[in-house]
Amino acid sequence: MTAPTFAQRGAEAVGSEAAAAVGDGARHLIEKRAAAVDAYPAMDAMRDRARDIRLHTLAHLDDYLFEFAEAVEALGGHVFFAADAGEATAHVAGIARAAGVRTIVKSKSMVTEEIELNAALEADGRRVVETDLGEFIVQLSGDRPSHIVAPVLHWTKEQVGRLFADELGVAYTDEPTELNQIARTHLRRIFLEADMGISGVNFAAASTGTIAVVTNEGNGRLTTTAPRVHVAVMGMERVVPTLEDLGVMLEVLGRSATGQALTTYTNLITGPRRPGDADGPDELHVVVVDNGRSTVLGDDVSEVLACIRCGACLNICPVYRSVGGHAYGDVYPGPVGSVLSPILFGFEGREELPYACTLCGACLEVCPARIDLPRMLVNLRERVAAEGSAFSWLDRPLDAYEFAATHPTVWNASLDGASVAGRASRSGWFKRLPWRGKAWTGERDLPAPAATSFRRWWRKHRGS
Amino acid sequence: MDRDAFLARVRAGIDRSTLPPAPEADPGPLVPDLPDVDLIERFGTAIATLDGTLHTGDPYAAIAEIIAAHGPGQLVAWDDEHLPLADAIRRFTASGCVRIDGIVPSSAGERLAHQRGYFDVLYGLTGAEAGFAETGSIVVRSGPGRPRMASLIPLVHIVLLPRDRIVRSPMHWLTSEESNVAGAANVVYVTGPSRTADIEQRIELGVHGPREVHVVLVERSEVSRHR
């Protein structure tokens, strides 16, 4: 049995409670972003600078990664370069084994989800606990995140209440303040007792070896402060040349993602705990992950590596708001995912993703790095079409169209046929069509063809 | 993967890539051109929208007010010599608060035992390197006598911020000589209390970090900027 396609998953999702919740959440985030952008007179200039910094870094990525690694090592940190998911997970598992780790706390990180790090560590006998409230809910329930910034956009508070009652042995409540307190108490003990913390990396500064981990809840800080070993996993494109450049990225990240001028905690880490420091982890390991990124870099869509994972393109996308995150089938949903996933993970089974888009261009309008996603989606469509694999069911209708369009008699006859159908509709709209048309009229009406074709009308009225 | 092989693969990717034109040199930072404002007033407005509190009056009165509101509890604090207000810690201990040692041992077992003592910390008392008027953030820097946990583990974080350390925006500070972020293992911009909107987009405070952040303005500080 083949895996369901985007169209199949999407068709199932449209109109569902979960997709509606994602749509509402995304609309809320659009408003918050717009307000923050309006309130900041420097936003446009910062976006231009952010784009320049990202593109400059990508063009010299090997040099900056080298410089970054040297800087981290000079501070007593360790750096490992992982070619793929297997190397990355094996290395982190090795660190955990060597340090005698039992419990691992994690702060939210897309790249660790991409490489399926939790599964690898659990298979090796470690207990891994997600600590971002949303990710904690996802892990506890065995669900998947539906948004890269807000993972449980598709959950209701009643569902969370039932989950906590079932899994944590607490009394049922659907009061968010109480649910929040339950999570705080439950996770706090685990934080203080964990041997290892695993975080992602929002940005890294090459010249100083500094990594930035931003969170609103504070779980990113606890993860990188309480356990004695800190492992930071970063996609290799996260680096920028200097701390000051990193500051420019922070200027646009929070405003684009959640409409915050800054995320609550901007956590800047430069090496492990230093001699005499009161607290902090004694070991710092940075794992730099390729896992397909060098392929993306060499592709026509290399610009997508300038992405800073703010999620603004998801929120603004009319397709994403209708189908939600799960329909995309991969870790990275929405417009950016539709570009990234086929190249990172291969086209097979992802041929429809470049078509999960109306080419409205809204994603380009909001992207803090002004990444031209519509251009890349068109590029990917051309490649899918050249392979002839995505929409083979369209081939025959298109052949028929070609035949009619090149044979005037057939063409005229088909127009007359359409006019007959048009006369059958008194309102001028088809509310329900049979067969293939059913999918169209399920969501909207179709204007009926005119009762008389233009050609006929012209023959009758010419000269009058 | 071997580092050289990894970087060679990256280089090969760059050589094949069709990246849009980019500046050959690092474009460098941009300090935003922002309207002139009263820095303290702007800071106060920004932190209020984040559900934090700015205290501009007598700092000792502010501390007394905070302790009166929450009662006695455990305290994690920076050492006196790192706080820009004399006698600040004693104001807590004299009110029945118990200060917990902020030095976490390195050995695994002792570390665990020590950190278990952090479970119910009520107050955290720190200084701050800077405040950002645009965002309502304060900056804390780790080091000897300056535990990271003091601004992270308590329910109520009290920040002693010298008035003259408020600057216009994050980029104004980051591009100044004072910042020296890489000079410490950990520098954090704290922008209001811990928050989440994960459940139905409703803002909740204090999910992992402090639920309350009180920025208490103090006079010009004689505490050195730590490098």
Strand partners, B195: B205
Asked whether residue B99 is assigned to any structural domain, the reply reads yes
* B185 vs A21, A251, A280: nearest CB: A280
Asked whether residue B140 is assigned to any structural domain, the reply reads yes
Q: At B196, which CATH number?
A: 3.40.50.10420
Asked whether residue B100 is assigned to any structural domain, the reply reads yes
- Which residues 337-376 of A are in CB contact (within 8 Å) with B? 372
Asked whether residue B106 is assigned to any structural domain, the reply reads yes
Domain encompassing residue B86: 36-217
- Whether the CB of B204 is below 8 Å from some CB of chain A: the reply is yes
Query: Tokens 């700092």 — which residue?
Result: B59
Question: How many structural domains compose chain B?
Answer: 1
- Whether the CB of B4 is below 8 Å from some CB of chain A: the reply is no
Are A133 and B196 a contacting pair at CB < 8 A?
yes
> What is the Cα–Cα distance from A266 to A79, expressed in whole angstroms?
22
Q: By the 8 A CB rule, do B160 and B216 touch?
A: yes
Nearest one of A305, A403, A315 to A363, comparing CA atoms: A315
- Whether the CB of A299 is below 8 Å from some CB of chain B: the reply is yes
- Which residues 80-119 of B are in CB contact (within 8 Å) with A? 102-104, 106, 108, 111-112, 115-116, 118-119
Q: By the 8 A CB rule, do A208 and B182 touch?
A: yes
Asked whether residue B196 is assigned to any structural domain, the reply reads yes
Asked whether residue B30 is assigned to any structural domain, the reply reads no
Chain A residues inside the 8 Å CB shell of B186: 224-225, 267-270, 280
Are A294 and B9 a contacting pair at CB < 8 A?
yes
Q: By the 8 A CB rule, do A230 and A283 touch?
A: yes
Please report the domains of chain A, with CATH numbers, ordered by start residue: 1-39+312-390 (no CATH), 42-291 (3.40.50.10420), 396-461 (no CATH)
* B115 vs A65, A192, A266: nearest CB: A192
Across the A:B interface, residue pairs with CB atoms under 8 Å apart total 315
Asked whether residue B7 is assigned to any structural domain, the reply reads no
Nearest one of A455, A89, A101, A67 to A239, comparing CA atoms: A67
pLDDT in tens, chain B (227 residues): 999 999 999 999 999 999 999 999 999 999 999 999 999 999 999 999 999 999 999 999 999 999 999 999 999 999 999 999 999 999 999 999 999 999 999 888 899 999 999 999 999 999 999 999 999 999 999 999 999 999 999 999 999 999 999 999 999 999 999 999 999 999 999 999 999 988 888 899 999 999 999 999 999 765 544 43
Asked whether residue B200 is assigned to any structural domain, the reply reads yes
pTM: 0.91
In a mutational test of the A interface, the residue from B26, B50, B51 whose CB has the highest number of chain A CBs within 10 Å is B26
Q: How far is B158 from chain A, CA to nearest CA, in Å? A: 16
- Whether the CB of B197 is below 8 Å from some CB of chain A: the reply is yes
pLDDT in tens, chain A (464 residues): 467 889 889 988 888 888 888 898 899 999 999 999 999 999 999 999 999 999 999 999 999 999 999 999 999 999 999 999 999 999 999 999 999 999 999 999 999 999 999 999 999 999 999 999 999 999 999 998 888 778 888 899 999 999 999 999 999 999 999 999 999 999 999 999 999 999 999 999 999 999 999 999 999 999 999 999 999 999 999 999 999 999 999 999 999 999 999 999 999 999 999 999 999 999 999 999 999 999 999 999 999 999 999 999 999 999 999 999 999 999 999 999 999 999 999 999 999 999 999 999 999 999 999 999 999 999 999 999 888 755 666 777 788 888 888 888 888 888 888 888 777 777 888 888 877 777 778 778 888 888 888 888 888 888 66
